[in-house]
Structure 1
């Protein structure tokens, strides 16, 4: 089966969307499929992303205008002749929807994964761009999709509320099995950021973007600083829209600069070291369609504190974290609860989280689910029970 994944980017700033395309393609190739990726990244980004099993499988198509729009006449022309059995589009609001529609006109089945872009909070940002895209091509692209891809039940509801009636495949994101098996060096990370062994780490690791809700975590830390004692918030991730300077200014105004460390983006061993050093992970997002870093934290054995803006109610079901309202008071109360727990009890919560990820959220099983959807769309198999048609 020839599978083509479309994504604007596979670089570090692409977040879970680019990582999802990479991991699906990598694991589908391991299952014997001919899976490839088209993006508009510069060649040097593609070369880095192609490592570990995707050499020669990622095509960088030239784009016009801002790269964030992913407008590529070359991709549209190539879509008129490129052989494919399935096209899987990752993300919406960019011109790659035009490429998907070109394939669809040739009778090729298409799967469209909004990756949270249709959530109400996300739609309220950059509204002019989204209105133009919706009118020009995205509305038709979403309505005509052979199947939609939701990563959580909450996103299924969002797609239906948006008025979309196509079948929806409920397929979560995942983590590689190698991540579960890896180990980091906590001491090395502490030394890197200048923290003593008795200082306890509350880790945030994601894009520094307003949607991630970091001001809520900073306010919660400030309101409860006296009772949080030796806890320190470590903020790791690439800066977007100059949000880091806003966060640093807020940290100073709240008088908690000594309690917060900004590390910049972390990758590879440094990222794994950060999770090894953390006793609790926090993601105070306003909106997430999945929140891949939650799965990564749990896979590393770290309990998680996140909000109802994410779909992670399982944290409470499996007793591996806190799932609270999008509110600084609620986040602060959960922080205080975590701070009262012995380190051993937090580790037990992390162990339960790791077991959850191993059972339900590894990429190899997600890739198999996607192949079952593709086979159904190609009339080579029956409809999977996780495809919703009503």
Structure 2
């Protein structure tokens, strides 16, 4: 099967959607599909990416394909399926039109962008987009891929006739098979060299993920633990966080990737993500796979899986609740290690990239056949 994925910019600091696109495309290539990854910016496409990379000129004004549309038209006619990612892109609408002209089915992954919290942000503009082009685009898709039942429940209201299905994202568990030494974490964040509990937040620094709540937790815990806020974000927002944390021991190591990232998960007392909204939440499952107990909220679409894993706690989104849970973990180190071990076992047993990839490719084929 020839499959094209389109994502405007492949830059990992832009967040989880880019990671999802890379993982889906990589695993589908390894699973036998003939995959093309189309983008305007291939900065973080791995050198060993097993598919074809198509770098388009542009993008054009208002997020359209711009000068890349001619090349996109040619490549669209060569595909068996076109998979579009995200919601608010006019380029995606153009790809859908090219797909229809080529008699090629297109699929959409909203990546949580139709969740209630997301739709409340700049809601008027998003509702206008849906009214003008988005609802029709969703409902004419051969299939809409959602990563969790909670996402499916929230998305239906915006396009009731869309043909949606739930399939987890294919996570590569290879980096988590062997746990790196603690000194690898200390290379990225010197606080790991100290004999002191670490509470790790590792994600894009964005208000929806509530890093401010953990700054409040740091004030409450004082000398009991070090809060590490690892990640990039809007420079002005990150600077505002630094100012808020100036009277605490909160650390800001920046964007971390590779082996040091795995080590930071593994050697943290716990991983905390007090998010308002999260779709699949790669970081939650990475933390589980590395053996870190996970603290999160029902803002994550996959909170039932975190709860079921036995490796995490689903908390109220308050500094009081998070501080109490962290104190509980610090006070019971043996129980904390056991919780981390349960989560790691669950993640390695249940997050099967091969199975998720096969499921998604089968959905393409099944829905394509149903569409006729």
1:96 aligned residue: 91
Shift >6 Å, 4+ stretches: none
Find out whether 1:338 has 2:329 as its counterpart: yes
2:171 aligned residue: 175
Find out whether 1:87 has 2:82 as its counterpart: yes
Contact residue 20 and residue 173 of structure 1 kept, 8 A: yes
Report the Cα offset of residue 241 of structure 1. Answer: 5.4
Q: CA RMSD in A?
A: 2.2
Counting only pairs closer than 5 Å after superposition, residues 340-355 of structure 1 correspond to structure 2 as 340-342=331-333, 344-355=334-345
Question: Partner of 1:261: helix, strand, or coil?
Answer: coil
Which of 236, 242, 248 lines up with 2:236 in the alignment?
Answer: 242
Contact residue 188 and residue 253 of structure 2 kept, 8 A: no
Find out whether 1:189 has 2:182 as its counterpart: no
Q: How high is the TM-score relative to the length of structure 2? A: 0.91
Report the Cα offset of residue 70 of structure 1. Answer: 3.4
Number of corresponding residues: 366
Find out whether 1:147 has 2:143 as its counterpart: yes
Gaps of 5+ in 1: 382-390
Counting only pairs closer than 5 Å after superposition, residues 241-320 of structure 1 correspond to structure 2 as 242-252=236-246, 255-256=247-248, 258=249, 260-310=250-300, 311-320=302-311
2:206 aligned residue: 209
State the distance in 1 between where 2:354 and 2:235 align.
34
Gaps of 5+ in 2: none
Contact residue 293 and residue 312 of structure 2 kept, 8 A: yes
Q: How high is the TM-score relative to the length of structure 1? A: 0.87
Q: Aligned in 2, Cα 1:241/1:262: closer, same or farther, shift over 3 Å?
A: closer
CA displacement, residues 67-96 of structure 1 (integer Å, 9 cap, x when unaligned): xx5321344434433211111111110123
1:377 aligned residue: 367
Find out whether 1:70 has 2:78 as its counterpart: no
Report the Cα offset of residue 185 of structure 1. Answer: 2.7
Contact residue 184 and residue 259 of structure 2 kept, 8 A: no
Report the Cα offset of residue 172 of structure 1. Answer: 1.5
Which of 152, 157, 160 lines up with 2:153 in the alignment?
Answer: 157
1:119 aligned residue: 115
Report the Cα offset of residue 2 of structure 1. Answer: 0.5
State the distance in 2 between where 1:306 and 1:160 align.
25
Report the Cα offset of residue 373 of structure 1. Answer: 0.4
